[in-house]
Structure 1
Amino acid sequence: MPIQTVDVVYTAVATAENGRDGRVASDDGKLDVVVNPPKEQGGSGAGTNPEQLFAAGYSACFQGALSVVARRENADVSGSRVTAKVGIGKTPDGGFGLTVEIAVSIPQVDAATAQDLVEKAHQVCPYSHATRGNIEVKLTVA
């Protein structure tokens, strides 16, 4: 798969200190959070963690992609919700990997239309582009 070219219109900048057990902040000061490993990984769980931040970004981005697709299809996605679940675990080669499940609820449309909109949003979403072919991403429609 060739590398996608992008005409960049915005660049987010964030800096981490002390990795998974420290702090991460954006250059504009709008994001400044303590990060700690979750208890399931032997940490304190006192702060957020990279997987939660990724889930937050992916769900918001996917919701935006869903809105773009809905406008194109003249579909009503008002009241819709997108939940991203990001899992982390060991890979067979001894490294670590991620899994993602995107659960979408679109109460204003029938199940078939919702499924179609979700599949199309998955083709539009930049996070989906970035993860495609790299990690398992499961889509569900509630």
Structure 2
Amino acid sequence: MTEKLVFTGKTHNTSGRNGGTVSSDGTLDLKLPQPHPAAENLFGAAWSACYMGAIELAAQQRKVKLPAGPKVDTEIDLNVNDGSYFLRARMNVTLDGLDRDIAHEIIHAAHEICPYSKAVRGNIDVETNLV
């Protein structure tokens, strides 16, 4: 199998009271005066977007027509224990109108497909919940 680059996201970040981030393509331009909670929110937003695409791919692979687009509410917790910081995450997925067993199968398959989910596997406790 030959590797193929699909996309490279490029951002420029600055810190301080006037800190922020801007993407090279201009689709992202945010003021980020504090690294926390911006980092957790941005990570959750990026992961959710990727995960929704993985849900659509998992449904397509199973020849399941998704009802109106999936919704993902992601919660990223920043925790500290004995001075060591770590993350926990919950992916709360809504797939209205889909049989619950099929929906469960799709969201778990999506967690195996999503590059963000793969990147954190074994490093972050993650719950995938069908709501």
Fold conserved between structures, TM > 0.5: yes
Question: 1:24 and 2:21 equivalent?
Answer: yes
Question: 1:125 and 2:122 equivalent?
Answer: no
The secondary structure found in structure 2 opposite 1:49 is: helix
Alignment identity in percent?
31
Separation (CA, whole Å) in 2 of partners of 1:75 and 1:14:
36
Question: 1:68 and 2:65 equivalent?
Answer: no
Q: Which fold has the larger relative contact order, with Cα–Cα distance below 8 Å and residues 6 or more apart in sequence?
A: 2
Question: 1:113 and 2:110 equivalent?
Answer: no
| Structure 1 residue corresponding to 2:88, chosen from 77, 95, 99 | 99
> What letter is aligned with 1:90?
V
Which string of whole-angstrom CA distances, capped at 9 and with x for unpartnered residues, describes residues 79-123 of structure 1?
22111111112133x132111100111112111111111110000
Q: Which residue of 1 aligns with 2:30?
A: 33
Contact 2:93 2:130 in 1 (8 A): yes
Unaligned runs of 5+ in 2: none
TM-score by length of 1: 0.81
Q: Which residue of 1 aligns with 2:79?
A: 89
Q: Which residue of 1 aligns with 2:7?
A: 10
> What is the number of equivalent residue pairs in this alignment?
129
Give the Å deviation of 1:76. 2.4
Give the Å deviation of 1:28. 2.0
Contact 1:99 1:135 in 2 (8 A): yes
Contact 2:15 2:34 in 1 (8 A): no
Separation (CA, whole Å) in 1 of partners of 2:25 and 2:17:
21
RMSD: 2.2
Contact 1:21 1:37 in 2 (8 A): no
The secondary structure found in structure 1 opposite 2:117 is: helix
